[in-house]
C-alpha cells in the first residue's frame, strides 16, 4: 500500500488523483499554496498542508513519510508565461529545491507532470517520446528544463522517476477561469449564457484531448509499476480533433448552438499536436476508456451539477461566485 505525496495537489489534476487514490485507500499527503477543491475532505487517509516548498522542514517530513511523490506544482500556463517569461524561473527554482531535498532520501519515486501539448513544438504526425523537443512557448521550455533536471538528479543520486507528458485534459474540477481547457470553458459559458473566445482557425487547430479519469488512471498506473521506472510517457487519447470537431460535438451533445467569438492565435500556440501513446500501452498495458463524446457528456453533467442548472439551461444568479469558490 503505497503512501503518496502530491505537491500542488489541490488543482485540477491533483484533486482528481486524490479522490481516486482515496477510493484505493492509499495514504495521501498534499501540500499546496491554496486550499480549494479538497478542503472539505474528511478521511483518515488524507492530510492536507497549506504551505509552499520554502518550508523545507515540512517538505522533508512529507517526503520521508511517502513512497511516491507526484509533482504537479506550477504557477504558469502557455498564455501567462508567454506574457511574462520570467514566471518560469520560479517553477524551475521550486523544482530544483524540491530535488535537493529528495536526493537525500532513498527508495522514493518522483512522478513529474510535464506537457505533451507544449514540449514538442510544431509537429505533423502523432509524436512518440523520442521525437525532437522544440517547444515554442516559455511554458514548454520550462517543462523541458524540469525534465532535464530530473534526469540529471536521477543519474547523479539514483532517484527513480516517471515523466508524464499529458495532452489536453478536461473534466470535473477544471477551472474555467484559468485560461486553459476549451471544452470545460465552452460548457461553462454555455450554461451561464456567455460567449467563448476561441483562438485561431477552428479547422487548423488540432489537439489530443483526454478525459481526466483516463489521465488519472494512467498516472497512478505508472506511479505504481516498476516497469515504468525511469521512463517518459505520452499520456493522451492518441487521436487528434480539430476545434471545429469539438464545437460540433459539444453542440450535438447540448442540442443547441454555442456562442463564440474569434481571437488571435498567439505564436506560442502550436497548431497541431497528437500524441503517440503506444509506449505506455506496451509498458503498463494502459489505454484510454472514455471517448470524446462520452467525456463531453460527463463534463457537461458535472458543470450542470455544480452550477445547479435546471433543464431549461437557466443558471441561478449566484452561479458565478459559487463556481469560483468551488474550483481552483
pLDDT in tens, 168-213: 999 999 988 877 889 999 999 999 999 988 877 788 889 999 999 9
pLDDT class for 325, splitting at 50, 70, 90?
Answer: very low
| Domain range for 319 | 171-207+243-275+290-326
Q: Are residues 57 and 186 in the same domain?
A: no
Q: Which of 156-165, 186-195, 213-222 has the lowest mean pLDDT?
A: 186-195
Residue 285 contacts residue 225 (beta carbons within 8 Å): no
Please work out, in degrees rounded to the nearest 5, the angle formed at the alpha carbon of residue 134 by the alpha carbons of 264 and 96: 105
Q: Indicate whether 7 and 29 sit together in one domain.
A: yes
Question: 135: closest CA among 92, 186, 82?
Answer: 82
The reported pTM is: 0.90
Per-residue pLDDT band at 263 (split at 50, 70, 90): low
Backbone angles phi and psi of 65, in degrees to 5: -85, -5
Same domain, 201 and 223: no
Q: Are 76 and 146 in contact (CB under 8 A)?
A: no
- Rounded Cα distance between 104 and 92, Å, is 19
We report the CATH number of the domain holding residue 66 as: 3.40.50.720
In a domain, 156, yes or no: yes
- 313 confidence band (pLDDT: 50, 70, 90): very low
Please name the residues in contact with 325: beta carbons below 8 A apart, sequence gap of 6 or more: none
Q: Is residue 96 part of a domain?
A: yes
The DSSP-derived string for 76-105 is: --HHHHHH-TTHHHHHHHHHHHHHHHHTTS
Please state the rounded mean pLDDT for residues 29-42: 82
Q: What is the pLDDT of residue 303?
A: 93
Per-residue pLDDT, averaged over 280-299, amounts to 97
Neighbours of 305 (CB within 10 A): 10
In a domain, 283, yes or no: no
Dihedral pair phi/psi, residue 209, rounded to 5°: -105, 140
Q: Quick one: 298 and 186 in the same domain?
A: yes
- Let me know whether 268 and 296 are in one domain: yes
Are residue 189 and residue 249 in the same domain, yes or no?
Answer: yes
Contact at 8 Å (CB) between 168 and 215?
no
266 is a domain residue: yes
Q: Are residues 247 and 221 in the same domain?
A: no
Q: Is residue 202 included in any domain, yes or no? A: yes
Is pLDDT above 60 for 7? yes
Residue 285 lies in a domain: no
Q: Average pLDDT for residues 84-103, to the nearest whole number?
A: 93
User: Minimal CA–CA distance to 277: which of 286, 269, 268?
Assistant: 286
The rounded mean pLDDT for the chain is: 89
CATH number for the domain that contains residue 263: 3.90.25.10
pLDDT at 49 over 50: yes
Determine the average pLDDT of the residues in 295-305: 94
pLDDT of residue 124: 85
Residue 315 has what pLDDT? 39
Is a pLDDT exceeding 60 seen at residue 232?
yes
Angle at 10 between CA 48 and CA 111, to 5 degrees: 90
200 lies in the same domain as 295 = yes
Q: Please check whether residue 210 is in contact with residue 274, taking contact to mean a CB–CB distance below 8 angstroms.
A: no
Decide if pLDDT at 235 tops 60.
yes
Regarding whether 41 and 111 lie in a shared domain, the answer is: yes
Same domain, 80 and 133: yes
Residue 322 clears pLDDT 90, i.e. is over it:
no
Q: What is the pLDDT of residues 107-144, one digit of tens each?
A: 999 999 999 989 999 888 899 999 999 998 999 999 99
| Per-range mean pLDDT, top range of 164-168, 171-175, 322-326 | 164-168
Helix H segments across the chain?
12-23, 56-64, 78-83, 87-102, 138-157, 182-191, 212-224, 243-254, 278-284, 292-307, 319-326
Q: What is the residue whose three cell numbers read 510544431?
A: 122
What SS3 class is residue 283? Answer: helix
Q: State the total domains in the chain.
A: 2
25: nearest Cα among 10, 44, 40, 9: 44
For residue 281, being part of any structural domain is answered with no
Same domain membership, residue 298 and residue 184? yes
Asked whether the predicted pLDDT for residue 314 surpasses 50, the reply is: no
Q: Does residue 187 belong to any structural domain of this protein?
A: yes
Counted residue by residue, the chain has a size of 328
Q: Domain check: are 155 and 122 in the same one?
A: yes
Amino acid at each position: 500500500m503505497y503512501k503518496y505525496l502530491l505537491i500542488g495537489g489541490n488543482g485540477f489534476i491533483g484533486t482528481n488523483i486524490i479522490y481516486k487514490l482515496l477510493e484505493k485507500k492509499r495514504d495521501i499527503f498534499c501540500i499546496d499554496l491554496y486550499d480549494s477543491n479538497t478542503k472539505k475532505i474528511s478521511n483518515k487517509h488524507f492530510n492536507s498542508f497549506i504551505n509552499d516548498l520554502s518550508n523545507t522542514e515540512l517538505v522533508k517530513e512529507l517526503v520521508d513519510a511517502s513512497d511516491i511523490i507526484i509533482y504537479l506544482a506550477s504557477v504558469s500556463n502557455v498564455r501567462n508565461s508567454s506574457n511574462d517569461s520570467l514566471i518560469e524561473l520560479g517553477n524551475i527554482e521550486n523544482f530544483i529545491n524540491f530535488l535537493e531535498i529528495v536526493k537525500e532520501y532513498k527508495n522514493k519515486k518522483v512522478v513529474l507532470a510535464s506537457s505533451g501539448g507544449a514540449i514538442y513544438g510544431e509537429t505533423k504526425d502523432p509524436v512518440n517520446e523520442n521525437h525532437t523537443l522544440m517547444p515554442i512557448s516559455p511554458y514548454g521550455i520550462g517543462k523541458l528544463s524540469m525534465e532535464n533536471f530530473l534526469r540529471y538528479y536521477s543519474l547523479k543520486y539514483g532517484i527513480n522517476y516517471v515523466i508524464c507528458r499529458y495532452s489536453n485534459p478536461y473534466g470535473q474540477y477544471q477551472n474555467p477561469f484559468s485560461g486553459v481547457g476549451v471544452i470545460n470553458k465552452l460548457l461553462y459559458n454555455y450554461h451561464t449564457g456567455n460567449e467563448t473566445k476561441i483562438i485561431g482557425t477552428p479547422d487548423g487547430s488540432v489537439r489530443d484531448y483526454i478525459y481526466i479519469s483516463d489521465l488519472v488512471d494512467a498516472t497512478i498506473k505508472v506511479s505504481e509499476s516498476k516497469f515504468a521506472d525511469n521512463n517518459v510517457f505520452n499520456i493522451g487519447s492518441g487521436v487528434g480533433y480539430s476545434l471545429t470537431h469539438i464545437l460540433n460535438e459539444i453542440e450535438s451533445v447540448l442540442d443547441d448552438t454555442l456562442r463564440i467569438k474569434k481571437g488571435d492565435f498567439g505564436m506560442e500556440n502550436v497548431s497541431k499536436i497528437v500524441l503517440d501513446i503506444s509506449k505506455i500501452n506496451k509498458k503498463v498495458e494502459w489505454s484510454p476508456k472514455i471517448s470524446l463524446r462520452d467525456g463531453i457528456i460527463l463534463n457537461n453533467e458535472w458543470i450542470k451539477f455544480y452550477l445547479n442548472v435546471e433543464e431549461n439551461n437557466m443558471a441561478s444568479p449566484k452561479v458565478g461566485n459559487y463556481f469560483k469558490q468551488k474550483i481552483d
